[in-house]
């Protein structure tokens, strides 16, 4: 279906489909370990089976053409290889363009332009990483079309992050691109962001599933608040480093943090740092619990993660708290929390199979009543990372 639609569109726009190649890059959801990736802590995300599909082919001149079937009102966006600068009018195409720019910055110059058509099925603005998905998709397309075989999937994740930080101006950590690049079906990724060492952990939920609930709100302070949180953590770290020998907040356990926290000297920064330290410890414990099939403990830690993000890190919002409260009060819910950057977006819940229908029905109705608009529910599967498809 997807392939046919993309190939038809490609032929319509660029003449035919000879030598056109087909690619996919997933979205991601983070199960636990939120706002730890820029604090040298652990994260535990997984790639989804929804994501961004793309078709592409090299050209013989130096033009690059981008077309999105989701945002077809922008038409074909044309950029010359000789001028890879950020332009507001390029809109969504600044993401793939940023990756091309990052490739050339890192010494991988392209010898021609190319045509690229994409179509995604990640709900817009949901916080399931449609931009990271598109960045890593572009990385896979470039390495494949131009025969660059020295880059690993982790390199593509780093290039995606580099382009987002330096071309698109969002100061994100590595989690999203890493999960999209290195995803593995039925597994979550236990990543140590201080070393980029990672292990896959099978997500065996027995009689339960992962449900993502989209609040369908995205508060505008998201980018500025994200950067403020980063700065607050950096300040707290600098203060702590005057008394303990650490590289990041992820190096601390709770006990050491409690012993030295007074040196931070600012109540807000202390709360932020407390979250970063506690969330990292929770993530390590949650993965251990999952490995011993203790789903109940995993769920409890998800709930604690939410409380910490709500009260100490203060990145939740009314709508998300309503969804999480409703989930906590629904039978058959093992755990529920906000996921992603915050200030809207989605919650992630683990729900017993026989309770899923009631979960969707009762929370759906109550949310509509309280907030005034509908939430959306997705029962998701954990899929593989970005790749070329047949
Ligand atoms: C966003 C960022 C990630 C990470 C999360 C919070 O998704 O892109 O790097 O910091 O927020 O865990």
| pLDDT tens figures, 115-142 | 999 999 998 788 899 999 999 999 999 9
Task: Write out the residue limits of the CATH 3.30.70.890 domain(s) in the chain.
Answer: 208-379
Question: Is the Cβ–Cβ distance between 46 and 31 less than 8 Å?
Answer: yes
Which two three-digit tokens encode residue 224? 């500025």
pLDDT in tens, 201-220: 999 998 999 999 999 998 87
């707290």: which residue's tokens? 236
- Candidate from 5-19, 76-90, 211-225, 240-254 with smallest mean pLDDT: 211-225
pLDDT of residue 120: 98
**Is residue 81 within 6 Å of ligand 1 at its C-beta?**
no
Rounded to the nearest angstrom, the gap between the alpha carbon of residue 28 and the centroid of all alpha carbons in its chain is: 5
User: How do 114-120 and 63-68 pair as beta strands?
Assistant: parallel
**Is residue 26 within 6 Å of ligand 1 at its C-beta?**
no
Measured from the CA of 37, which atom of ligand 1 is nearest?
10
CB atoms within 10 A of CB 243: 12
pLDDT in tens, 297-312: 999 999 999 999 999 9
Which two three-digit tokens encode residue 60? 């013989």
**109 three-state secondary structure:** coil
pLDDT in tens, 93-116: 999 999 999 999 999 999 999 999
pLDDT of residue 179: 99
Nearest Cα to Cα of residue 338 among 330, 346, 328: 346
Q: Which residues contact 190 (CB under 8 A, 6 or more apart)?
A: 42, 44, 198, 199, 200, 201, 283, 287
**Is residue 34 within 6 Å of ligand 1 at its C-beta?**
yes
Band of pLDDT at residue 223, cut at 50, 70 and 90: confident
What whole-number percentage of the chain has pLDDT above 70? 99
pLDDT of residue 363: 98
Q: Is residue 165 over pLDDT 70?
A: yes
Active site residue 155: no
Separation of alpha carbons 269 and 225, rounded Å: 13
Alpha helices in the chain (DSSP H): 2-14, 94-105, 130-145, 153-166, 175-182, 222-240, 254-260, 267-291, 295-311, 318-328, 356-371
Centre of ligand 1 from the C-alpha of residue 348, in Å: 15
pLDDT of residue 382: 98
Band of pLDDT at residue 222, cut at 50, 70 and 90: low
Task: Write out the residue limits of the CATH 3.30.230.10 domain(s) in the chain.
Answer: 2-203+384-389
CATH number, span 2-203+384-389:
3.30.230.10
pLDDT of residue 219: 81
- The residue whose CB lies within 8 Å of the most ligand 1 atoms, and thus the one to mutate among 46, 218, 341, is 341
CB atoms within 10 A of CB 189: 26
Separation of alpha carbons 66 and 113, rounded Å: 11
**Is residue 35 within 6 Å of ligand 1 at its C-beta?**
yes
Which two three-digit tokens encode residue 150? 């020295």
Mean pLDDT (whole number) for 264-277: 98
Nearest Cα to Cα of residue 141 among 123, 166, 127, 159: 159
Q: How big is the chain, counted in residues?
A: 390
Mean pLDDT (whole number) for 229-241: 98
Rounded to the nearest angstrom, the gap between the alpha carbon of residue 71 and the centroid of all alpha carbons in its chain is: 21
- The residue whose CB lies within 8 Å of the most ligand 1 atoms, and thus the one to mutate among 172, 283, 316, is 172
- The secondary structure of 340-383 as a DSSP string is SS-SEEEEEEEEEGGGHHHHHHHHHHHHHHHHSS--EEEE--B-
Task: Determine phi and psi for 304, rounding to 5 degrees.
Answer: -65, -35
pTM over 0.75? The answer is yes
Which two three-digit tokens encode residue 21? 């190649």
Separation of alpha carbons 35 and 229, rounded Å: 9
pLDDT of residue 347: 98
Separation of alpha carbons 332 and 162, rounded Å: 41
CATH number, span 208-379:
3.30.70.890
Distances 87 to 42, 77, 159, 258 between C-alpha atoms, Å: 35, 11, 20, 47
What whole-number percentage of the chain has pLDDT above 90? 96
Q: Is residue 196 over pLDDT 90?
A: yes
Give the residue, by CA position, lying nearest to ligand 1 atom 11. Answer: 341
Mean pLDDT (whole number) for 3-29: 98
Nearest Cα to Cα of residue 219 among 379, 68, 338, 88: 338
Separation of alpha carbons 324 and 336, rounded Å: 6
**387 three-state secondary structure:** strand
Rounded to the nearest angstrom, the gap between the alpha carbon of residue 218 and the centroid of all alpha carbons in its chain is: 15
Give the residue, by CA position, lying nearest to ligand 1 atom 9. Answer: 173
pLDDT of residue 84: 98
Mean pLDDT (whole number) for 273-281: 98
Band of pLDDT at residue 292, cut at 50, 70 and 90: very high
pLDDT of residue 221: 64
pLDDT of residue 74: 98
**Is residue 96 within 6 Å of ligand 1 at its C-beta?**
no
Which two three-digit tokens encode residue 366? 């109550």
Q: Which residues contact 288 (CB under 8 A, 6 or more apart)?
A: none
Mean pLDDT (whole number) for 38-59: 98
- The residue whose CB lies within 8 Å of the most ligand 1 atoms, and thus the one to mutate among 158, 160, 340, 343, is 340
Q: Is residue 147 over pLDDT 70?
A: yes
State the catalytic residue, choosing from 37, 115, 176, 312: 176
Q: What is the mean pLDDT of the chain?
A: 97
Q: At what angle do helices 356-371 and 318-328 cross, to 10 degrees?
A: 140
pLDDT of residue 186: 98
Q: Which residues contact 111 (CB under 8 A, 6 or more apart)?
A: 146
Separation of alpha carbons 143 and 234, rounded Å: 35
């Amino acid at each position: 279906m997807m392939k046919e639609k993309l190939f038809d569109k490609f032929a319509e726009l660029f003449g035919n489909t000879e030598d056109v190649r087909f690619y996919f890059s997933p979205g991601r959801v983070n199960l636990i370990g939120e706002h730890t990736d820029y604090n040298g802590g652990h994260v535990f995300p997984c790639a989804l089976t929804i994501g961004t599909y793309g078709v592409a082919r090299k050209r013989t001149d130096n033009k690059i053409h981008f077309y999105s079937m989701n945002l077809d009102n922008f038409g074909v966006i044309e950029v010359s290889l000789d001028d890879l600068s950020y332009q507001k009018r390029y809109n969504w195409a600044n993401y793939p363009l940023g990756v091309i720019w990052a490739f050339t910055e890192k010494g991988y110059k392209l010898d021609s332009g190319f045509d690229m058509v994409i179509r995604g099925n990640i709900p817009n603005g949901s916080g399931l990483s449609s931009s990271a998905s598109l960045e890593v998709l572009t990385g896979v397309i470039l390495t494949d079309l131009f025969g660059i075989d020295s880059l690993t999937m982790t390199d593509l994740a780093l290039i995606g992050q580099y382009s987002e930080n330096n071309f698109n101006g969002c100061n994100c950590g590595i989690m999203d691109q890493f999960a999209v690049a290195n995803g593995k079906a039925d597994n979550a990724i236990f990543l140590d962001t201080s070393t980029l060492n990672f292990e896959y952990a099978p997500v065996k939920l027995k009689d339960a599933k992962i449900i993502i609930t989209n609040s369908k709100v995205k508060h505008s302070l998201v980018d500025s608040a994200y950067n403020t949180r980063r700065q607050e953590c950096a300040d707290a770290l600098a203060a702590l480093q005057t008394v303990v020998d650490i590289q990041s907040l992820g190096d601390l356990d709770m006990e050491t943090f409690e012993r030295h926290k007074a040196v931070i000297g600012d109540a807000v920064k202390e709360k932020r740092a407390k979250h970063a330290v506690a969330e990292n410890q929770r993530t390590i414990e949650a993965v251990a619990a999952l490995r011993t099939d203790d789903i109940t403990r995993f769920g409890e830690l998800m709930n604690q993660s939410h409380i910490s993000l709500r009260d100490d890190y203060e990145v939740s919002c009314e709508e998300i708290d309503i969804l999480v409260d409703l989930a906590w009060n629904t039978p058959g819910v093992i755990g529920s929390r906000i996921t992603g950057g915050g200030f809207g977006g989605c919650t992630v819940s683990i729900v017993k199979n026989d309770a899923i229908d009631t979960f969707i029905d009762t929370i759906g109705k109550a949310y509509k009543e309280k907030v005034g608009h509908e939430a959306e529910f997705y029962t998701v599967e954990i899929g593989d990372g970005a790749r070329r498809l047949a």
